[in-house]
Each structure stands twice: as structure tokens, then as C-alpha cells.
């Protein structure tokens, strides 16, 4: 009987070792694919987006509660349900809001550069 594959255990071990040793964590392709397929990836990607926006000078992000609906006509409705590839609504809404703010920030930067 072969040993079970412990992909997330391996990922956590590599990250912890990198922190202890002050080095980078290196994931093989199987580990990277597993991480990107996990719901935690959406949280990491959202934090990365915040960092990018902050580096562009975006001070304040509009949230779904104060921005109204932003754009997509493909969102869920009462006659459709979630499919295997559907992301949670909160992640979808946050992504749309962040993308809109990033676009606005880039537009502001271009305007400032022209003047």
C-alpha cells in the first residue's frame, strides 16, 4: 500500500520552512495547481489586488453595499443556480468593485501625466 499524497501538508511545510529560514517557498506544479484550485486562493488573490491598487494610489474602495450593481449581466438570478465553475457572489462582487477602482485609478494617473 502506498503512502497517501499530502499536498496541502507539503505546501504548509514549505511555507513554514521558508519563514523559519528567511528564504522563498518553492512549490512544484502539483502543489501550485492544488493551491489555485482551493477557495483560499480567492482570498490571496483579493489581497494581492488590494496591494496593487494601493501601489496605484487608490485610497478607498467602494464596496458592494454602497456602489450598486457593477456591470455583469451574467450574475445569478432566480432561475439559474451555481455551476461547477461559479465563484461565490461575494468574491465576484469584490472582484468587479476592485477592477472598477483599478480602472479609475489608471485613468486618473493618465490624466495627471498629460497635464
pLDDT in tens, 17-41: 999 999 999 999 999 999 999 999 9
Residue 74: its pLDDT value, please? 54
74 vs 57, residue with greater confidence:
57
Amino acid 62: pLDDT: 58
DSSP 13-58: HHHHHHHHHT------HHHHHHHHTSTHHHHHHHHHHHHHHHHTT-
Quick: pLDDT tens for 67-97: 444 555 555 555 555 555 566 666 677 777 7
Residue 83: the pLDDT is 53
Model-level pTM? 0.47
- Look at residues 100, 98, 105 and name the one whose alpha carbon lies nearest to residue 50: 98
Amino acid at each position: 500500500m502506498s503512502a497517501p499524497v499530502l499536498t496541502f501538508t507539503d505546501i504548509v511545510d514549505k511555507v513554514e520552512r521558508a519563514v523559519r529560514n528567511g528564504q522563498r517557498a518553492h512549490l512544484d506544479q502539483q502543489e501550485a495547481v492544488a493551491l489555485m484550485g482551493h477557495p483560499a486562493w480567492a482570498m490571496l488573490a483579493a489581497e494581492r489586488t488590494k496591494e496593487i491598487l494601493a501601489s496605484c494610489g487608490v485610497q478607498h474602495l467602494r464596496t458592494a453595499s454602497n456602489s450598486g450593481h457593477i456591470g455583469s449581466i451574467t450574475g445569478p438570478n432566480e432561475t439559474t443556480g451555481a455551476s461547477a465553475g461559479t465563484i461565490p457572489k461575494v468574491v465576484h462582487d469584490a472582484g468587479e468593485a476592485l477592477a472598477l477602482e483599478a480602472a479609475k485609478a489608471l485613468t486618473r494617473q493618465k490624466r495627471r501625466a498629460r497635464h
